[in-house]
Chain A
Amino acid sequence: MDANLIKQYGDELYNAMLERKTIAPLSSRGVEMSIEDAYHTSLHMLNRRVEAGARVVGKKIGVTSKAVQTMLNVHQPDFGYLTDDMVFSQGEEMPISERLIQPRAEGEIAFILKKDLIGPGISNADVLAATECVIPCFEVVDSRIENWQIAIQDTIADNASCGLFVLGDKAVSPTKVDLVTCGMVVEKNGKILSTGAGAAALGSPVNCVTWLANTLGEFGIPLKAGEVILSGSLVPLEPVKAGDFMRVDIGGIGSASVYFS
């Protein structure tokens, strides 16, 4: 793809996010889009947001479950950027009518880094040593693409379908919890919806962060101390609407909840 088209797509996605409207899938417009083109589009969309005053606070990893990888016919995860305006705290209402289009909630484990991670060559031991703490998290994914009709290129270009996220009320050192076996229970409006465990994300949430550090390392981009890294969903995505209340409990870590308005 030529640079102008990448810019045009990035602008389209940026405007769609601002105006809360969807656009036609980029992958079905008759122009071949590589994975690299898609990441360049995502970066352009990010640059527009940073120009408008947003600050990058971390990254998210997506497409980490076998089910989603099979659906998108890919065998690796993807990533997007987290900015300060996407973070919500416990007790804050998440206003779908102002910020989101077709949101879906997923329970995850967030990593907070205390040291830079510069790939390639990063191992899980490096990631654990660089992790200050893990926190329960709901990522509310959203797609600027019509009806979530996404190919892998569409979701990558669209900031890995990231919407907003809410961090939980407890931070735990990674030395205190087994991130492979820690169980997850997701409740919607007080009813248990799904359960999962850490291994649902590429066998371990740590594998996901390691993958990201090494993938970004190839482009000279570090994961930085202080950044929050969302490591990927441990349960199936759940569509949400105004009035819904979601809660996630993670064994040995804690809980996070979010009310949608």
Chain B
Amino acid sequence: MSNRTFTKEQVASMAEYIENAELNVHDIPKVTNDYPDMTFGDAYDVQWEIRRRKEARGNKVVGMKMGLTSWAKMAQMGVDTPVYGFLADYFSVPDGGEVDTSELIHPKIEAEVAFVTKAPLKGPGCHIGDVLAATDFVIPAVEVIDSRYENFKFDLISVVADNASSTRFITGGRIAKVEDVDLKTLGVVVEINGEVVELGAGAAVLGHPASSVAMLANMLAERGEHIPAGTFIMTGGITAAVAVKKGDNVTVRYQDLGTVSARFV
């Protein structure tokens, strides 16, 4: 990951290009088309530059997300590592609230479990026990992803540069202490307009969603970063991502954690 081919100027220019696609709501070809030698190090540099651009504009980073954490998705992409991204303040949508589809390109939703930490998590060597001990509570979350790439088609390096397709998230339901829920067998049922479209259990995420948080800590350590106390972390889709459109009403039912819903307008 430390391997890099980009100059600072190239990082800045690509960050501007990708972020503009997000802000102006238009798709772009995946960036590796023009930069086939681009590395993961380059891609994360671009993502962190997008983050810096947003913070410089006054946005706050309110959490982190893991993506491609299910084995099914990793196999589909032909990779064995998940990716991470950051969540900006304006990504947050209240439970039962509206997601404005005019601000998005081709949104999809995924059901996830999110963690909030009460102690810092530092890699390398962070494991599931560290994560459970450092967890304040878990909370259900529905992630809206929206790749900036044409037809939602990308490779792993391109998606990292695009902040792991992050765009919106909805939290709600009720929180729980990790000792009160079995996150491995925790079931989720995704309904769109009242019809069940996807379902699964927590184990779909790396065997246990807490493993995803440990992996995030270890990936951040490669850049000398860590997960501070009080961080909100979405652990990745338990279910496959489902395309949504204007007019859709999404409800996700979580075992023991209530319901999260949103309307796409």
B192 lies within 8 A of chain A by Cβ: no
Is B207 within 8 A of A198, CB to CB?
A: no
B62 lies within 8 A of chain A by Cβ: no
Residue of B nearest to A197 (CB): B187
Is A192 within 8 A of B188, CB to CB?
A: no
B199 lies within 8 A of chain A by Cβ: yes
Partner-contacting stretch, out of B20-28, B241-249, B250-258: B250-258
Scan residues 163-212 of chain A and give those whose CB is less than 8 A from a CB of chain B: 178, 180-185, 192, 195-200, 203
Is B185 within 8 A of A192, CB to CB?
A: no
Q: How far, in Å, is B256 (CB) from chain A's closest CB?
A: 7
Is B196 within 8 A of A181, CB to CB?
A: no
Among the listed B196, B203, B253, B254, which residue makes an inter-chain contact with A195, where contact means beta carbons less than 8 Å apart?
Answer: B203
Is A184 within 8 A of B71, CB to CB?
A: no
Cα–Cα distance between A196 and B203 once the two chains are bound (Å): 10
Q: How far, in Å, is B220 (CB) from chain A's closest CB?
A: 26
Scan residues 185-241 of chain B and give those whose CB is less than 8 A from a CB of chain A: 185-189, 196, 199-204, 207, 238
Residues of B within 8 A of A192 (CB): 71, 203-204, 207
Mostly helix, strand, loop or mixed at chain B's interface? mixed
Residues of A within 8 A of B73 (CB): none
B127 lies within 8 A of chain A by Cβ: no
Residues of B within 8 A of A243 (CB): none
Residues of A within 8 A of B71 (CB): 192
Q: How far, in Å, is A59 (CB) from chain B's closest CB?
A: 24
Is A185 within 8 A of B185, CB to CB?
A: yes
Please encode chain B, from 123 to 139, with 1 for each CB lying within 8 Å of some chain A CB and 0 for all others: 00000000000000000
Cα–Cα distance between A183 and B238 once the two chains are bound (Å): 11
Among the listed A183, A185, A200, A203, which residue makes an inter-chain contact with B255, where contact means beta carbons less than 8 Å apart?
Answer: A183
Scan residues 110-154 of chain A and give those whose CB is less than 8 A from a CB of chain B: none
Give the contact-size bracket for chain B: 20 to 34
Residues of A within 8 A of B207 (CB): 192
Residue of A nearest to B253 (CB): A181
A196 with B199, Cβ < 8 A, contacts A181-B253, A181-B255 known = yes
A199 with B199, Cβ < 8 A, contacts A183-B255, A192-B71 known = yes
Is B185 within 8 A of A200, CB to CB?
A: no
Number of A-B residue pairs with CB-CB distance less than 8 Å in the complex they form: 76
Is B189 within 8 A of A181, CB to CB?
A: yes
Q: How far, in Å, is B182 (CB) from chain A's closest CB?
A: 6
Is A178 within 8 A of B184, CB to CB?
A: no
A249 lies within 8 A of chain B by Cβ: yes
Please encode chain A, from 220 to 261, with 1 for each CB lying within 8 Å of some chain B CB and 0 for all others: 000000000000000000000000000001111000000000
Residues of B within 8 A of A249 (CB): 184-185, 203
A180 with B253, Cβ < 8 A, contacts A249-B184, A251-B185 known = yes
Is B200 within 8 A of A196, CB to CB?
A: yes
Is A184 within 8 A of B196, CB to CB?
A: no
Cα–Cα distance between A196 and B187 once the two chains are bound (Å): 7
Scan residues 2-16 of chain A and give those whose CB is less than 8 A from a CB of chain B: none
Scan residues 98-126 of chain B and give those whose CB is less than 8 A from a CB of chain A: none
Q: How far, in Å, is B121 (CB) from chain A's closest CB?
A: 24
Is B201 within 8 A of A183, CB to CB?
A: yes
Residues of B within 8 A of A (CB): 71, 182, 184-189, 196, 199-204, 207, 238, 253-256
Residues of A within 8 A of B (CB): 178, 180-185, 192, 195-200, 203, 249-252
With A184-B201, A192-B204 known, 9 other A-B pairs at CB within 8 A are A181-B189, A183-B201, A185-B185, A192-B203, A192-B207, A198-B189, A249-B203, A252-B182, A252-B185
**Leading 9 A-B pairs by shortest Cβ distance:** A183-B187, A183-B201, A251-B185, A197-B187, A195-B201, A181-B255, A197-B199, A185-B203, A199-B189
Q: List 25 A-B pairs, Cβ < 8 Å.
A: A178-B256, A180-B189, A181-B187, A181-B189, A181-B253, A181-B254, A181-B256, A182-B185, A182-B187, A183-B185, A183-B187, A183-B202, A184-B201, A192-B204, A195-B203, A197-B199, A197-B255, A198-B187, A198-B189, A199-B196, A199-B199, A200-B196, A251-B185, A251-B186, A252-B182
